[in-house]
Amino acid sequence: MHELSLCESITGLVADCAAREGIGRVTRVTVAIGKASAIDPEALLFCFPITTEGTVAAGAELVVEQIALRARCTDCGAEFAPLSRMAPCPACGGFAKTLLAGQEMQVVSFEGE
Ligand SMILES: [Zn+2]
């Protein structure tokens, strides 16, 4: 499953950072996923406890934020925030666009003690 390997990456990243900062137990992890990233937040929440088991982040809460879409119209160059990948350009009505944001996933922060 796609989300399982993502959670493994998140857990690995957080465990590395926690070790560097001398944090013994991570209590909360915040990630942001783009609305067009095809990542299912529910699946992330489901997989996270599986991948954190036995690590410094065991029992940590996972908070999933969403990154809104940003796109640039290929026809007129306008930048806008489409509600979906299919939304037309509000300036010229064109459908050709380049997505600037909304496809990525990033670990925003984590808390621990
Ligand atoms: Zn346009």
**Residue numbering of the annotated binding site for Zn(2+):** 73, 76, 89, 92
Are 57 and 11 within 8 A, CB to CB? Answer: yes
With cut-offs at 50, 70 and 90, classify the pLDDT of residue 96: very high
Taking only Cα atoms into account, the Rg of the chain, rounded to an integer number of angstroms, comes to: 17
Query: pLDDT band for position 84 (50/70/90)?
Result: confident
Residue 76 CA to ligand 1 centre (angstroms): 4
Binding site residue list: 2, 73, 76, 89, 92
Distance 82 CA to ligand 1 centre (A): 12
Question: Which CATH architecture is the domain 2-68+101-112 placed in?
Answer: 2-Layer Sandwich (3.30)
Distance 51 CA to ligand 1 centre (A): 43
Model confidence pLDDT, tens digit, residues 59-69: 999 999 999 99
Higher pLDDT, 62 or 36: 62
CA dist 25 and 2 (Å) reads 26
pLDDT reading at 1 higher than 80: no
Task: Give yes or no for a contact between 113 and 25, defined as CB atoms under 8 angstroms apart.
Answer: yes
- Give the span between the Cα atoms of 66 and 31, in whole angstroms: 8
Sequence-distant (≥ 6) Cβ neighbours of residue 38 within 8 angstroms: 2
Q: Can you say whether residue 59 is alpha, beta or left, with left for phi > 0 and alpha for psi between -120 and 50 degrees? A: left
**CA 96 to ligand 1 centroid distance, Å:** 8
Residue-level pLDDT at 63:
97
Residue 1 carries which DSSP code? -
CA of 103 to the centre of ligand 1 (A): 20
Sequence ranges of the domains in the chain: 2-68+101-112
Report the C-alpha gap between 61 and 48 in whole angstroms: 9
